[in-house]
Amino acid sequence: MAQAFYVTAQADREKTKPLISEGLDSVRAYQFEIQFSELPPALAANVPQDFILAAKQVSQVGMTVEDIEVNRVNDKVFYPGKASPEELTVTFDNLYNRSVSEALWKWFSTIYDPTTGKFHTEIAQGANNTFKCNATIVHLDSRGQPLYETRLLGVYPKSWKTAEFNYSTNEFHTIELGLRYDFMEHVGNNAAYGSALASTV
């Protein structure tokens, strides 16, 4: 039989504080950093720090498992199929003294240079001998300390575009970078790669 957990847990409020008043705090949507590692050598050494400072918005991150539909007589059942990572969009402030837009364009050009029509995956290869890098979205607590990490592996820029220019707005101008990645995981900030289920095995 189902139990009303919240109502039951809050029944004796005269003697104790309600659970929701002190036990249900949450990570804020604005408490984050996104960090890039193993970027192409064509980018300057200080670019990773510039990206951290300029990044102001990160779209939803996730993967979806496709369905395998199986039909038998009058029944329809489903099995998990291939997993597909979703495209990620990171919005950067177009900072004056950091040349962020130039660095983002240079990164995109290491994949495809529209001035020559060539793909430059060899130019983009870094220390790990691949044109793909890694990215980490760090979830921060109320003191600004790392709490969780969403790690993206095999990242490369898919699109680069400027925000709208408009005289009537009063906002910073931004650059949107579309990113593709191969794999992801969500773990504690000090966990090793591939350790999401290690404690249950």
Q: pLDDT tens digits, residue range 94-104?
A: 998 888 999 99
Q: Is residue 2 part of a domain?
A: no
pLDDT of residue 200: 47
Q: Is residue 12 part of a domain?
A: no
Q: Is residue 201 part of a domain?
A: no
pLDDT of residue 201: 41
**Is the CB of residue 66 less than 8 Å from the CB of residue 33?**
no
pLDDT of residue 180: 96
| Cα–Cα distance for residue pair 57/91, rounded to 1 Å | 5
DSSP 3-state of 200 = helix
- Give me the domain span that covers residue 166: 27-189
Low-confidence ranges of the chain (pLDDT < 50): 200-201
Complete DSSP assignment for 3-38: --HHHHHTS-TTTS--HHHHS-----TT-EEEEEES
Structure tokens at 123: 């130019």
| Cα–Cα distance for residue pair 150/34, rounded to 1 Å | 9
Q: Within a 10 A sphere around the Cβ of 104, how many other Cβ atoms? A: 23
The residue with tokens 């995956």 is 121
pLDDT of residue 9: 64
Q: How many domains does one find in the chain? A: 1
CATH number, domain of 142, equals: 2.30.110.20
| Cα–Cα distance for residue pair 92/160, rounded to 1 Å | 11
pLDDT of residue 59: 96
Q: Is residue 140 part of a domain?
A: yes
pLDDT of residue 26: 86
pLDDT of residue 71: 97
Q: Which residues pair with 174 in a beta bridge?
A: 93
Q: Which residues pair with 67 in a beta bridge?
A: 80
